[in-house]
Amino acid sequence: MKMNNQQSQIPKRRLVAVCAIGLLLLAGGIFSAFAFEGLSLRAGSATTAPATNAAPGARTSLVTNAPVSYADLVSHTAPAVVTIYAERRVREPRQFPFFNNPFFGDPFFDEFFGKDGKRLTPREPDNSEAPRQMGLGSGVIVMADGYILTNHHVIDGADKIKVEFADKRSYEAKVVGSDPASDLAALKISARNLPTLPLGDSDKARVGDVVLAIGNPMGVGQTVTMGIISAKGRATGIGDGSFEDFIQTDAPINRGNSGGALIDTQGELIGINSQILSPSGGSIGIGFAIPSNMARNVMDQLIKSGKARRGMLGVIVQPLTSDLASTLGLADVRGALVSQVNAGGAAEKAGIRRGDVITAVNGAPVNNGNSLRNQIARMQPGSEVTLTITRDGREQQVKAALAELKADKGIGEEVGENEGKSKGKFGLSVEPLTPELADQLALKSDTRGLAVMGVDPLGPAADAGIQGGDVI
């Protein structure tokens, strides 16, 4: 019986102990909750301090310190972005009477009209009643007295240009200067005390930075989109292809955004929206903007003289592969490998040789041929530059006085890049193996053959495994 009584009493004691422990835990939980709430409030108050990269007046998140609204930033910058209407008359080409006549090609009629109609006098078309075509783009006011920066392709061939503000004010504009090579143009309207966007330093922009794109996509009216910088130093080859150093962004850009602003969270212009990559013609998150530092250089020249002048080094370079870098004794696969030196050019006068690898211009790194082309193009003719080169595995510096790149020069005649895209049936470019080139490729000086200077990645040679630097 006692045993039974003791057994009956044990659960009661345990119950009392459990209840006591539960009360203690509950009290501790309540105390902890208040304590943690206090810590949370203190942490929250600490994170409300403005971020260094947040726009003035922008509201910020208590958790990440990131802006949750860009309204103040947009209201400050958007008035400096305008819509551009470019009107052009669609002109008919010169025509030859009966050019498509089935009698052409007949020897009898060739006696009278010339072979394929070449003796016929062309008939000038009557364009007085030709239909007019309206182009749409955007622009950025960069000077308060009416200077506007936009894309060359927005106003190319236009007979009449109208600039419209977001408040529907409009002005007739004239072209101050246009540069197809960089796809930039400067316009002027008769107005003063206009809102402007300051040009930022695009070299300081980093991949991952938040950016806003402002323009008039598809003619719907001024629109603001947000994204980040996805990449820098892009070359698309979509346009003229001469000088490309694009900022890539996923901020939605559509037709009509061309010439508009890409701004950072400080409200500075870091790019002029120029191109999109899209199979459908609409934004898929791959847009490209001309960096502000390139735009500033070209804009200043257009406003001053109506055209852009560029330096010329006088070399043709080829892509540097890991195999070539290893063969040439380079630590990194970086630089521009000189495959041709133009006779009498600045590079030849400076002592640059075929096989040299240019790794820096005035101390600024050269990543590839496109990088070298853009760095040289930023400089004025006659400028003296210091080139860092690697020759025979040793680094040295040479000085060169740049010549002037003429407007009618092709890309291959300046600082171009030989991509090895030969039109031959094998898809490769070769050069005779000289003793100097053999030495560069670590071969015996008496080795004979053809050195592969470039390979078309889509050609038969590439399919067979041939690479740049191979010797046939």
Q: Which residue has the higher pLDDT, 82 or 88?
A: 82
- 144-158, 390-404, 420-434: least confidently modelled range: 420-434
Q: Does the active-site annotation cover 292?
A: no
User: Checking DSSP bridges between strand 315-318 and strand 416-417, what pairing results, if any?
Assistant: parallel
Tokens of 283: 């934004």
pLDDT at 96: 41
Tokens of 450: 């053809």
Whether 73 has a pLDDT exceeding 90, the answer reads yes
Q: Sorting pLDDT into bands at 50, 70 and 90, what band is 417? A: very low
Q: Sorting pLDDT into bands at 50, 70 and 90, what band is 16? A: very low
Q: Could you identify the residue written with the tokens 């007085």?
A: 128
Q: Sorting pLDDT into bands at 50, 70 and 90, what band is 127? A: low
- 30-34, 209-213, 215-219, 422-426: least confidently modelled range: 30-34
Q: Residue 407: left if φ>0, alpha if ψ -120 to 50, beta else—which one?
A: alpha
CATH number for the region 202-305 comes to 2.40.10.10
Cβ neighbours of residue 112 closer than 8 Å, sequence gap 6 or more: none
Rounded CA-CA distance 337/431 in Å is 14
- pLDDT per position as a tens digit, 214-267: 999 999 999 999 999 999 999 887 655 578 899 999 999 998 999 999 999 999
pLDDT at 88: 86
Residues of the chain with CATH 2.40.10.10: 80-189, 202-305
The pLDDT of 335-360, averaged and rounded, is 92
The pLDDT of 131-157, averaged and rounded, is 93
pLDDT at 320: 83
Tokens of 376: 């040289």
Q: Comparing C-alpha atoms, which of 78, 75, 42 is closest to residue 57?
A: 75
Specify the 3-state DSSP secondary structure of 116. helix
Q: What is the architecture, at CATH level 2, of domain 420-472? A: Roll (2.30)
Catalytic residue among 179, 183, 456, 470, which? 183
Whether 288 has a pLDDT exceeding 60, the answer reads yes
CB 51 within 8 A of CB 67: yes
Q: Which residue has the higher pLDDT, 441 or 408?
A: 441
Rounded CA-CA distance 22/184 in Å is 75
Q: Does the active-site annotation cover 258?
A: yes
- pLDDT per position as a tens digit, 199-211: 999 999 999 999 9
- pLDDT per position as a tens digit, 175-188: 999 999 999 999 99
Q: Does the active-site annotation cover 445?
A: no
Residues of the chain with CATH 2.30.42.10: 311-417, 420-472
Rounded CA-CA distance 130/451 in Å is 55
Whether 114 has a pLDDT exceeding 70, the answer reads no
Rounded CA-CA distance 223/345 in Å is 48
Q: Read off φ and ψ for residue 370, nearest 5 degrees.
A: -65, -40
Cβ neighbours of residue 96 closer than 8 Å, sequence gap 6 or more: 117, 120, 122, 123
Rounded CA-CA distance 85/333 in Å is 46
pLDDT at 442: 65
- pLDDT per position as a tens digit, 40-71: 333 333 333 344 444 554 555 444 566 678 99
Q: Sorting pLDDT into bands at 50, 70 and 90, what band is 327? A: confident
- 25-34, 177-186, 296-305, 347-356: least confidently modelled range: 25-34
Whether 124 has a pLDDT exceeding 90, the answer reads no
Catalytic residue among 138, 202, 242, 258, which? 258
Superfamily of domain 80-189: Trypsin-like serine proteases (2.40.10.10)
CATH class of 311-417: mainly beta
Quote the mean pLDDT of the chain. Answer: 78
Whether 24 has a pLDDT exceeding 90, the answer reads no
The percent of residues above 70 in pLDDT, for the chain, comes to 67
Catalytic residue among 153, 242, 283, 470, which? 153
pLDDT at 412: 38
